Amino acid sequence: MIVNDFVCQSGDAVDTDFSGFSVPLEHSFEVDDVPRFRLRGALQLRGGRENSVYLSQNQLSEKDRSTLKDVAAVDGLYRIRVPRVSLQVDRQTERQSEGYLTTFVRACSLVESHLSDVITLHTDVSGYIIGISIVTIPGSCRGIEVEDEVDLEVFNSTISVVAPVTAPAPETAPYIERMEQEMEKKGKNPQEQKSFFAKYWMYIVPLVLFLMMSGAQDQSGGGAGGGAANGGGR
Amino acid sequence: MAWLVVRLAISVSLLYAASAVFEDQVGKFDWRQQFIGKVRFALFDTHSQASKKLLVATDKNVFASLNSRTGDLFWRHVDKTGPEGHIDALLMYGQDAVVVVGNGRLLRSWETTVGGLKWETVLDTGSFQAAALVGVQDLVKYVAVLKKSAISLHDLSSGSQIWGENLPDSDSVQYQTIYSGENGLVFVLGIVPNSHIVIVEYKIEDGEIMNKKSVEAAWMSSLESSCAVVSSGILLCVDQITQSLYTLPLQSAEQTEMRQIHLQMLDLEVASGFRPVLTSTQPNPAQPPLSEFFLQLSPDHHILLQFKDGLIALLRDFSPSYLAAFATSGERTVAAVMSPKNDTACSINLFSADTGRKHLDTTIIYHMDPNGGKPNRLYVHAFLKKDDSVGYRVMVQTEDLTLTFLQQPGRVVWMREEALADVVTMEMVDLPFTGTQAELEGEFGKKAAIQDGLLPMVLKRLSSQFILLQAWLAHLWKLFYDARKPRSSVKHEVTIDILSRDEFNLQKMMLMVTASGKLFGIDSKSGTILWKQYLENIQPNSVFKLIVQRTTAHFPHPPQCTLLIKNKDTGLGSLYVFNPIFGKKSQISVPTLPRPVLQTLLLPVIDQDYAKVLLLIDDQYKVTAFPSTKNVLQQLQDTASSIFFYLVDSSQGKLSGFRLRKDLSTELIWEVVIPTEVQKIVAVKGKRANEHVHSQGRVMGDRSVLYKYLNPNLLAVITESTDTHQERSFVGIFLIDGVTGRIVHEAVQRKARGPVHFVHSENWVVYVYWNSKFRRNEFSVLELFEGAELYNSTVFSSLDRPHAPQVLQQSYIFPAPINTLEATLTEKGITSRHLLVGLPSGNILSLPKMFLDPRRPELVSEQSREENLIPYAPEMPIREEWFINYNQTVSRVRGIYTAPSGLESTCLVVAYGLDIYQTRVFPSKQFDVLKDDYDYILISSVLFGLFFATMISKRLAEVKLLNRAWR
C-alpha cells in the first residue's frame, strides 16, 4: 500500500510544543474487509495531571477517497487502531506494550458525516490507554450520496482522552451536617418544638368526644371504619 | 417543619414499599427444602430400640440428625465452608456424638436428641490424623485424637484434656491410626513408607509410653488404606503385589516380624489393578474388634474371613457383590451384602458375622434408578425383633448422591436427593398446555388447515369444542367428587401427566443442574421432583451452561433445552439436549466439539422447527451452529454482518469483539485491553434477554421526560485492583458496548475491595463492594440517561448512538454482608423493580429499587417531591418485613433466580444454596389480583340485594302509577 501521502508534518514541532510524545494513529478500510492498517496521523499525547491530546493528520488522497466510497457502498468497516501506551511520564521506558487497541465505525456513516468523527481514548487509573472509540456525527447511514469529493478530503476530528471518574462514596458528612442544622433550627424556634398534640388539642378533643358518642350508639359503624383503615395501607 | 416533611416522606414511602406475609399465607405460595450434601459419615443411633435418629456428617460441613422413618431433618448444624469447617471424624457413644472439625482444630460433643452443644474444646495445632473412642473396663470414658506429631486424650463428659503427649520421631514417622482395645492401652500406629511401621503404646491413665517398637514392612506405603485391627489387637494388612495378608499382634513382645499369609492358600486372588480393602468392625469401643472381617478383592467381590488362633479361615465368598457392611444390634453382629440381581435391581441379604450363615427371609430388593447412578455406600441399621431375630434397614448412597432408605422386602421408606445441595445453574420453563388446549392450538397452528377446505374445518372446530366440553365436565365431576371427601384425604399428588399450565402461568418447571451432574425437573408450585437424570462421567470441575432453545409455545414441537458441559481445565465441551418437561434426552444429532469452547451465543434466529440457534465459538474463533440445518445456515448467511459477539480473556485483561462472516468464520473488530498489572477482570455481565422495559423514560418534577439509555448490548465489566492495600485498592466499573467496543463509562471506586456482587438491568447497574477504609459493605448505583431527547426513538443501534449517555451515580452504606444479588423480573416490566439480596443469615431481602436511585436529592424540593424521590440518606435501611422468606432461611444462599409469571404483578423467585426456597414476590403489591380475603359473599349479596331492590321498587312504582292513574 502506498503510504507516501501520509507525512507526519508536525513531527519536529512535537518536542518543542509538547513535553509529551507521539504515537501513530492508523486506519484501514478495504473492500475485501481484510484489515491493512496505514498511517492516518500522529497523536501527540501528554501525560500528567491533565491528560491532553492533539491529533495532526493529513488529507485523504484521491485513491483513498474512492476506496472509502467503495467500502461505504458495500457497508464495510472503517477501522482505526493505536498502540497500547501509557501516558505517565515515569513509565516512559515501559510505555510501549505489545499489541494495539482497535475499534471501528461503519464506513458509510463516516462518508455521510463528511469525515466528522469523534475519537476518544480511554485510560485506566494508572494512565495506560485501555480502549479507543470512534463515532461519527451524525452516526446514521441513510444512503445519501456524497458527490462532492472535497467533503472527503479533510478529517474534521475531535479527539479527547478520558480518564476514569471516581465513583462517589456514601456522603455521610453532609448528611450529618444537614441533620444538625435541622436540629438547630428546631431549637431556635420554640413554636416548632410544641408537639402536634399540644398544638391542636382544642380540635382533637371535641373530635374524639364526638367519635366516642357516635361510636357508642352504633357499634357496627366503628367496626367498618376500622376495616377501611386497614385497607388503606395499600 | 422541613424535617417533619422529610420524615413524613420517608415513612410514607416505606408504607408504600412495605410488604410482608400474613400468618395464614405461610407456605401458600412458597416452599423450602433443606439438604445436607454428600454423606461422609452416617451412624444409626443403636442406643435404644425405638430410636429414629440417624446422624450424618457431610462434605458440605453439615452435621445433622435425620428421622430414619421419614427422612426429615430433626436438626442440622451448618458449619463454616471450606477447610475451616470440614468434619474430620464423627464418633458416637450413647447419647453423645463427638465431632472433630477443621483439620483437628476443634473437638465438639453434641447431644443427639435436640442437637445441643455439650462442650467444645480447642485442640492444639497440627493436622488431624485419626480419632477414636477409648474405653476402660467396658465403659467408654475418653476420646483420643491423633495429630501429626501429638496425641491427646479427652474426657468424654467434659471435653477436658486428660493428657497430651508429643509423638516420638514425628518428623520421620507418619502416624496414621489409633487403636484401643480392652487392656488399658492406646496404640498409635505410624509408618515410614516402604521401610517399617512404628507402634507406640500409651497408658490411658497418664499417657506414659509403655512400649515402642518398630516392625519391618518394606512393602507398605500407607497404613490407613491397607490395614485394619481385628480380634484382640491383631494388626492385619493386605498387599496386592505379594498377594498376601500380613498379621502382627500389637502387644506381643516376642514377634518382631509380620507374619505373611498368602492369599493363594485360601484360593483367593486380588483382581489386577485393584487395591484390596479390609473392613473390620468394633461394635463396642471398650472391647476388642470382632475377629471377622471383609476383604474386598475386586469392585464386585467381597469375602468374609475370620482370624482365629493365628490362622485365617474363609467364612463365605460373595461373588458378585457390590457393597458389604457390618451392623450390630445388642450382642449380635450381622453383615449385609449387596449383590446384583438383574440389570435393574440388586438384592441385599443379611448374614451372621460369626458364621457367615445366611439369615432367612432377610432379602431387600433395591431397584436401581435407570436415570441414576450406581450405589457406592451402604449403611445398615440392625435391630432385634420381638422374636429375637435380627431385622434390618439399609440406607444406600449412590454416585448421584441419592440417599435411599429401604426396609424389607424392598419398600422405599424415603429418599433424599442430596445432589440438590449444590445447584449450579437453573432455568424456569413454562409448562405445556393440556391436551385440550393443545388441540385448539393445533387447529389454528397448522399451516395445512388452509388446504383442508370449509367442511373439514367446521368438523374440526366442532370436534375440538366437544373435547373442551368433555374436559370441562370431567373437571366439574372431579370437583364434586373431591368436595364430598373429607379435606385431609384429598391428596394433591403431582405427576408429570397432569401437569399443565395454569391460568396465570404461575406454575412452572424448574430445571436445576447440580455440580454432581444430575439434572432435576421440579414443579415450582409444590417442589416435587418430577424427573431426574444423572449424567455419567461428568468431571468434578465442570462448568455448566443451560440454554432454553425452544419454549413450550411451539406446539406440537416439544420444548428443547441444551446443556453445555465444559471441562474447566481443558475447556472441551459437550452438549446434552433434552426435553425440559419430561427430562428425556432428545434424539437430535448433536455437533461434536473437538476444540475448547470459549463463548456461546443464543440468537433470536429460529429454524423451521422454531428452535433458537445456538452459536458456539471455539478457541480458533470458528463458529459452530446448532441446529445447523440448511435453513439455519441460510439465515445465518443473510444476517451474518449484524451478528456480533465478545470474548473476555481475564488472564490477559483483554476484551475483544468479533463479527460473524458469511462462511461462519469471524473477524476481530475491536479490542480493549485492561492491563493486568493494575487490575484484573473479575466479572462481566450483559443484560437478561427476556427483560422488558415498559417506560422509555422518567417523568421529572417539571413534567419533562428524562429518557433512559437502554442499550441492550451494554456490558458491565467489574475489575479489582491487584494492589490489596486498604488505601490503594479499588474496584473498577466499565460499561462497554458489546458491539462497538466503545467504553461508555468508566469509574473507579476508591478504597474498595471485592467480592463484588452486581446486577445489570434496564439502564442501571447496582454493585456491592467492601469499603476497606471504613470496613463496611456499600451499595452503589449507576443510572444511564440519554437526556431530555431521544437520539432515535424507533430503534436502538449500537452503531448509531454517537452521544455518550449521562451517568448518575450514588452510593449507600449497607449494614450487612451480602452473599448474592438479583433483581426481580416481570412479564412486561411495568411493575416497579426490587433487588433481592441474599444475606449470609439466610434471609432474602427484597429491597425496593426506589432506595437505590442516584437522583435521590440532598435537599427536598417541590420537584423531587413531585417525582416521589426519597431524600438521600447514606444508610440503607434493612427492615424485617422485607425478608421475603420470613423464618424460612436459606443456608449458604449462593444464587437467586427470578422469572416472570403470567401476572404482571408477580415474579417467581428461587433462592438456592444448601437449601432451595421458592416463592412469589409482588414488588408493587398485587394490583392485578383480588386479595385472598376478598369478600365475595358481601359483594355478591349487595349486588343481588340491589338488583332485587330495584326490581321490587320498580314493581311498586308501577303499582303506584297505576293507582294514581285510576284516581
A33 touches chain B (CB under 8 A): yes
Mean pLDDT for B721-726 is 87
Residues A139 and A192 placed together within one structural domain of the fold: no
Confidence of residue A230 (pLDDT cuts 50, 70, 90): very low
- In one-letter notation, the amino acid at residue B129 is Q
Pairing of strands A156-162, A116-123: parallel
Mean pLDDT for B236-258 is 83
* Res B433 pLDDT > 70: yes
Residues A83 and A149 placed together within one structural domain of the fold: yes
A122 touches chain B (CB under 8 A): yes
pLDDT reported for residue B947? 96
Residues A95 and A39 placed together within one structural domain of the fold: yes
Largest Cα–Cα separation, chain B:
139
Confidence of residue B521 (pLDDT cuts 50, 70, 90): very high
More confident residue, B468 or B237: B237
Q: Is residue B666 helix, strand or coil?
A: strand
pLDDT reported for residue B943? 95
Q: Cβ contact (<8 Å) for A103 and B741?
A: yes
More confident residue, B395 or B268: B395
| B619-632 pLDDT tens trace | 888 888 888 888 88
Peptide bond into B755 cis (omega under 30): yes
Percent of chain B past pLDDT 90, that is, above it, reads 37
Helices (H), B720-849: none
| B875-909 pLDDT tens trace | 988 998 899 988 899 999 999 999 999 999 999 99
What residues 52-71 of chain A have any CB closer than 8 A to a CB of chain B? none
Mean pLDDT for B287-298 is 88
Using CA atoms, how far residue B841 sits from B36, B46, B57, B520, B777, in Å, is: 17, 35, 21, 27, 15
Cα–Cα distance, B260 to B767 (Å, whole number)? 67
Q: Nearest 5°: phi and psi at B745?
A: -155, 150
Q: Which of B659, B743, B776, B807 to mutate against chain A (most A CBs within 10 Å)?
A: B743
Q: Cβ contact (<8 Å) for A103 and B925?
A: no
A228 touches chain B (CB under 8 A): no
Helix and strand totals (H; E) in chain A? 7, 9
Contacts for A176 with CB less than 8 Å, ≥ 6 apart: none
Q: Is residue B488 helix, strand or coil?
A: helix
Instruction: Choose one of A129, A162, A195: the last residue of a domain.
Output: A162
B112 touches chain A (CB under 8 A): no
Instruction: Choose one of A162, A186, A218: the last residue of a domain.
Output: A162
Residues A26 and A125 placed together within one structural domain of the fold: yes
Cα–Cα distance, B429 to B690 (Å, whole number)? 12
What is the count of structural domains for chain A? 2
Residues A105 and A57 placed together within one structural domain of the fold: yes
Instruction: Count Cβ atoms within 10 A of the Cβ of residue B1 and give its class: 0-12 exposed, 13-18 middle, 19 or more buried.
Output: exposed
Contact list in B for residue A164 (CB cut-off 8 A) is 732, 746-748
Contact list in B for residue A99 (CB cut-off 8 A) is 671, 673
Cβ-nearest to A167 among B670, B780, B859: B780
pLDDT reported for residue B7? 52
A184 touches chain B (CB under 8 A): no
Contact list in A for residue B741 (CB cut-off 8 A) is 102-103, 131, 133
Cα–Cα distance, B111 to B113 (Å, whole number)? 6
What residues 596-655 of chain B have any CB closer than 8 A to a CB of chain A? 641
Confidence of residue A13 (pLDDT cuts 50, 70, 90): very low
> Measured between CA atoms, how close is B904 to chain A, in angstroms?
17
Residues A83 and A140 placed together within one structural domain of the fold: yes
Average pLDDT score, chain B: 87
CB B220 within 8 A of CB B211: no
Cα–Cα distance, B497 to A98 (Å, whole number)? 61
> Is residue A11 included in any domain, yes or no?
no
Residues A49 and A86 placed together within one structural domain of the fold: yes
More confident residue, B932 or A63: A63
Confidence of residue A62 (pLDDT cuts 50, 70, 90): confident
> Measured between CA atoms, how close is B846 to chain A, in angstroms?
17
Q: Which of B646, B799, B932 to mutate against chain A (most A CBs within 10 Å)?
A: B799
Residues A101 and A192 placed together within one structural domain of the fold: no
| B548-603 pLDDT tens trace | 998 888 777 888 999 999 887 787 888 999 999 888 888 888 888 888 888 888 88
Q: Is residue B777 helix, strand or coil?
A: strand
CB B838 within 8 A of CB B915: no
* Res A11 pLDDT > 50: no
Rg (CA), chain B: 35
Residues A97 and A187 placed together within one structural domain of the fold: no
> Is residue A2 included in any domain, yes or no?
no
> Is residue A218 included in any domain, yes or no?
no
Residues A90 and A176 placed together within one structural domain of the fold: no
Percent of chain A past pLDDT 90, that is, above it, reads 9
Give the residue among B711, B598, B613, B584 at the shortest CA–CA distance from B658: B598
| B83-121 pLDDT tens trace | 899 999 999 888 889 999 999 899 999 998 888 999 999
pLDDT reported for residue B627? 86
> Measured between CA atoms, how close is A119 to chain B, in angstroms?
10
> Measured between CA atoms, how close is A131 to chain B, in angstroms?
5
What are the grid coordinates assigned to B341, written together? 440381581
Confidence of residue B231 (pLDDT cuts 50, 70, 90): confident
A232 touches chain B (CB under 8 A): no
Residues spanned by the domain of A179: 172-209
> Is residue A65 included in any domain, yes or no?
yes
Cβ-nearest to A133 among B742, B873, B875: B742
Instruction: Choose one of A106, A138, A162: the last residue of a domain.
Output: A162
| B662-686 pLDDT tens trace | 888 888 999 999 988 889 999 999 9
- In one-letter notation, the amino acid at residue B823 is A
A191 touches chain B (CB under 8 A): no
> Is residue A149 included in any domain, yes or no?
yes
* Res B484 pLDDT > 80: no
- Residue pairs between chains A and B whose CB atoms are closer than 8 Å: 140
> Is residue A30 included in any domain, yes or no?
yes
CB B915 within 8 A of CB B34: yes
> Is residue A91 included in any domain, yes or no?
yes
Least confident of A115-129, B18-32, B125-139, B769-783: B18-32
Residues A152 and A106 placed together within one structural domain of the fold: yes
Q: Cβ contact (<8 Å) for A75 and B792?
A: no
Cα–Cα distance, A206 to A215 (Å, whole number)? 14
Q: Cβ contact (<8 Å) for B672 and A105?
A: no
pLDDT reported for residue A97? 63
Contact list in B for residue A136 (CB cut-off 8 A) is 802
A109 touches chain B (CB under 8 A): yes
Q: ipTM value, please give it.
A: 0.77
Cα–Cα distance, B305 to B323 (Å, whole number)? 15
Q: Nearest 5°: phi and psi at B13?
A: -65, -35
| B132-181 pLDDT tens trace | 888 887 788 889 999 988 999 999 989 899 998 888 888 888 999 998 87
Cβ-nearest to B802 among A118, A125, A174: A118
- In one-letter notation, the amino acid at residue B668 is L
pLDDT reported for residue A3? 32
pLDDT reported for residue B75? 93
> Is residue A147 included in any domain, yes or no?
yes
A97 touches chain B (CB under 8 A): yes
Confidence of residue A74 (pLDDT cuts 50, 70, 90): confident
Residues A73 and A46 placed together within one structural domain of the fold: yes
